[in-house]
Amino acid sequence: MARTGEMTVITYRGIFQEVEEALGMYSDGYRDQSAVIFLDGGDAKGLAVEAGKAVLVETGSGRVVVAAKISEDPHPGVAFMPASPWSAQLLSGEAGEGGILEMKRFEAAVSPSGEAVTSIEEIGERIRAP
Amino acid sequence: MAFCTGCSLLCDDIEVDFEGGKVKRTLNLCRKGRGHYDALTVDRLNPAVGGSGVVVGEAVKAAAEILSAAERPLLFGWGRSSLAAQKLGVDLAKKLGSAIDDPSSYSQGLMTEKILKGEIPTCTFDDVRNFADVSIFWGDDPSSSHPRHMSRFSYFPRGEKRQRGYEEDREAIVVDVRKSPTAMIAADGFFKIQSGGDAAFIEALLATLGGKIPKVEDKKKMLNLGTKLRKAKFGAIFTGQGLVQSRKGDVEAFSSLVAKLNELTRFSVIPSLGDYNTRGFNQTLFEETGFVNSVSFADGVSGGPEFGIAKYLDGCDAVMVVGSDPAAVLPAPLAKKLASIPTVAVDSHRTLTTDAAKVAIPMAVAGLEAGGSALRTDGVKVDFDGVVESDRLPDAEIIEMIMEAV
């Protein structure tokens, strides 16, 4: 039974992701920069997750498999994901105070996964599915 | 000299040579800008209706049919549109009696609105370069999002009153939930806050500025910050989405902080907006309606969150997306809702939104294939020319064709 960690996930934009996005979001480069999650070293150890391995990130709204990265700085209980179609699959679409969509932060379950990293094509199909 | 429309800094000092339609050599482009230029030959959008290739005229006709038949259409996007296209977009919304909105309704629209209403003081990047001795990056990581921000304006350059640049004349302070590349540059000026902790940080800073002992772990660091801010001759605060999201749409506490700082010295705010002409859309719509986003022309002029994409998709029966990719950004339930509505997508490149659209209309890349005007994120107007031949139409021409056909 794979271990699962409950974490607060915060999204951000990174320069290398921005470059790859400009060059086309259907590229491997964009997936490699976007379909990732930065875990705290201690959290990753607790989940028996190594850098580069696939992890399932799941919320009440959706699930994606992304590659794990381990942060140099500690941030226990918090994980960081680039803002991208992958993180968007996990957002609820609920508006917070003032009617603004919550796009930066969500609670998610993170666990090791034997599945392949979710492709952008699969995300597109999910969006277009009736 | 060419312009870069890769972000809202609109860098105007770009040198570029093309060979065989591809970029051969550039000077002064940042890494992100180079990606923007190189993308000229990658994943370009072709005109299509229902997934089948057509000529542009047919795609425009199909777009007009969708929009004309709709009772509750929404025109969305506009951040990667020229000022002329944005103005025509507002006119089209009026003609259709539709809603019009842009991504600022779920990002920094509230901040821009306060600036346009004069409720938060602002300044230009040229003021920052020449006079600013303290730059605060709040929930903002320009090293990633606006890579030449610090080198052209806010930290490294020498300016009229800041001849010794970052070495002696400027201080960089970063308030963020993670140690971003910008935070690494700021080094000791980095204040790491908890997720959603901006309000507490603002409270502590206000207490410090009011001469009280702040209720924070590192009191000494906060007191030093208060002293730096009080002594600043010209401070600039650059805001990112992190701040607005952290306050869940309430920027009142931040406004109070800026007001307090301006009682003590001078501080201005410039939001770091994403797309190259987000400011242009917000200002164009504001001047027409008094709202920066989320407007409906169905019954006169109405504005409010109910006309923003997050809520308006319920009951919406046609969407035209121009220069934006909401399907890639919006929470999955909303992206699915968008994909279920007949959509017209006008864009320079293939995106998740164009893939889900019923009608796709390609446009030229502004600043490279087409000229136009835009407002930099600090509100300064910039006029640019195209620098490479293209058979793709400028965005304004496409909107004009749709306007004539509806």
pLDDT value of residue B243: 83
Closest CA to B281 of B289, A31, B209, A28: B289
Closest chain B CA to residue A104: B245
- Where do runs of H (alpha helix) occur along B51-100? 56-69, 83-96
- pLDDT tens-digit map of B95-142: 999 999 999 999 999 999 999 999 999 999 999 999 999 999 999 999
Out of A15, A88, A100, closest to residue B332 by CB:
A88
What is the least distance, in Å, from the CA of B331 to any CA of chain A?
A: 5
- pLDDT surpassing 90 at residue A94: no
Q: Is A124 in the B-facing interface, judged by CB distances under 8 Å?
A: yes
A26/B334 CB distance under 8 A: no
Percentage, residues of chain B above pLDDT 70? 99
What is the least distance, in Å, from the CA of B32 to any CA of chain A?
A: 5
Out of A22, A84, A96, closest to residue B249 by CB:
A96
DSSP states of B270-323: EE--SSTTHHHHHHHHHHHHS-SS-EE-TTS-EESGGGSHHHHTTT--EEEEES
pLDDT value of residue B251: 82
Closest CA to B180 of B129, B146, B229, B204: B146
For residue B52, list its beta bridge partners: B49
pLDDT value of residue B249: 56
- pLDDT surpassing 70 at residue A15: yes
For residue B16, list its beta bridge partners: B26
Q: What is the mean pLDDT of chain B?
A: 95
Out of B105, B178, B331, closest to residue A12 by CB:
B178
Q: Is A12 in the B-facing interface, judged by CB distances under 8 Å?
A: yes
Strands (E), B193-262: 235-239
Distance, in Å, from the CA atom of B402 to the CA atom of B35, rounded to the nearest integer, reads 31
Quote the crossing angle between the two packed helices B109-116 and B278-289, to the nearest 10°. Answer: 50
CATH class of A5-128: mainly beta
pLDDT value of residue A1: 60
Q: How confident is the model over A97-119, as a mean pLDDT?
A: 90
For residue B239, list its beta bridge partners: B138, B271
- Where do runs of H (alpha helix) occur along A1-130? 15-22, 28-34, 41-47, 85-88, 120-128
What is the least distance, in Å, from the CA of A3 to any CA of chain B?
A: 25
Amino acid at A36: V
Q: Go through the domains of chain B in sequence order and give each one's CATH number.
A: 46-107+276-405 (3.40.50.740), 109-271 (3.40.228.10)
For residue B313, list its beta bridge partners: none
Closest chain A CA to residue B332: A89
Read off the tokens for A115.
Answer: 């599945």
Closest chain B CA to residue A18: B32
Query: Do residues B134 and B231 lie in contact, with contact meaning Cβ atoms separated by under 8 Å?
Result: no
Strands (E), B302-384: 302-303, 318-322, 343-347, 359-362, 372-375, 381-384
Out of A15, A21, A93, closest to residue B331 by CB:
A93
pLDDT value of residue B247: 59
DSSP states of B167-209: III-EEEEEESS--HHHHHHGGGEEE--TT-HHHHHHHHHHHH
pLDDT value of residue B250: 67
Closest CA to B344 of B405, B277, B273, B274: B405
ipTM, two decimals? 0.95
- pLDDT grade, residue A101 (50/70/90)? confident
Out of A15, A91, A99, closest to residue B331 by CB:
A91
What is the least distance, in Å, from the CA of B39 to any CA of chain A?
A: 5
Residues in chain B with pLDDT values less than 70:
246-250
Alpha carbon B391 to its chain's center: 28
Whose structure tokens read 């918090």? A78
What is the least distance, in Å, from the CA of B211 to any CA of chain A?
A: 31
Q: Is A123 in the B-facing interface, judged by CB distances under 8 Å?
A: yes
- pLDDT surpassing 90 at residue A68: yes
Q: Is A2 in the B-facing interface, judged by CB distances under 8 Å?
A: no
Least confident of A23-32, A88-97, B94-103, B141-150: A88-97
pLDDT value of residue B1: 86
Identify all chain B residues contacting A107, using CB atoms and an 8 Å cutoff.
Answer: none
Read off the tokens for B275.
Answer: 């797309």
Instruction: Compute how many other C-beta atoms are within 10 angstroms of the C-beta atom of residue B136.
Output: 27
Closest chain B CA to residue A23: B39
pLDDT value of residue B218: 87
Q: What is the mean pLDDT of chain A?
A: 93
User: How do the domains of chain A map onto residue ranges?
Assistant: 5-128
pLDDT value of residue A97: 61
Read off the tokens for A4.
Answer: 């699962």
